[in-house]
Amino acid sequence: MAECASLFTSYGYAKKVLGVNEEAATLSNPVPFWKLVVSGAGSGFASSCVLTPVELIKCRLQAQLNCPSGSTNYKGPIDCIVRTVREEGVTGLWRGNLSTLAREVPGNMAWFGVYEAGMRFVQQARGDERKKDVPLYWSALSGSAAGVAYWALPFPADTVKSKIQTDNRFQGESFASVFKTIVKEEGVAGLYRGCPITCLRAIPS
């Protein structure tokens, strides 16, 4: 919920800064596409600040599910937060933030770009003067395509982020260093492990 709130609030703010007025936009006088893509990048930057601590806790709790019984590190989310701050400082909650940025900025450029491109294509094909005239089912279809694009484009960055946040081997390592290690140990396919199912999951969501 916090991610969605920060994402769409920052997207709206970025559009406002760029002078986007979608209420006044028409088929013959559309919003410049680049402004929508740049606004998507801005929303990805802002949401990363909120998302990194949330995903760090989630990834660490999920990672310990694979540990042998009785060897789990955390009792729950609160315990994970407290221990992370105690052992790594408050900044430890933002471990992997660069990787999150590497996913969220291009990911949201892709998400909003594909969504807006899909809506504009349908608008032109149907001759709808305003975007709000496009039927809801076309909006849903554009959203599904956007969700797939969001994950497919920056998925390697998400893989690197998860490694940095959950694998102690990579504590203090740079994004580039972890990226190279994954490719060396698992091949390029290792960067996309779990990508197909994640993209399928994004279609209805």
pLDDT at 105 over 90: yes
Residue range 151-205, pLDDT digits in tens: 999 999 999 988 988 888 887 889 999 999 999 999 999 999 999 999 999 988 7
Cα 18–Cα 22–Cα 127 angle in degrees, nearest 5: 135
pLDDT confidence tier of residue 113, bands split at 50, 70 and 90: very high
pLDDT at 5 over 90: no
Q: Which residue carries 């990363």 as its tokens?
A: 48
- What pLDDT score does 149 carry? 96
Kindly report the number of other CB atoms within 10 A of residue 182's CB atom.
19
Question: The whole model's pTM is what?
Answer: 0.84
Residue 190 is given by DSSP the state G
Q: Which residue carries 């081997």 as its tokens?
A: 169
pLDDT at 70 over 60: no
Tell me the mean pLDDT in the region 115-138. 94
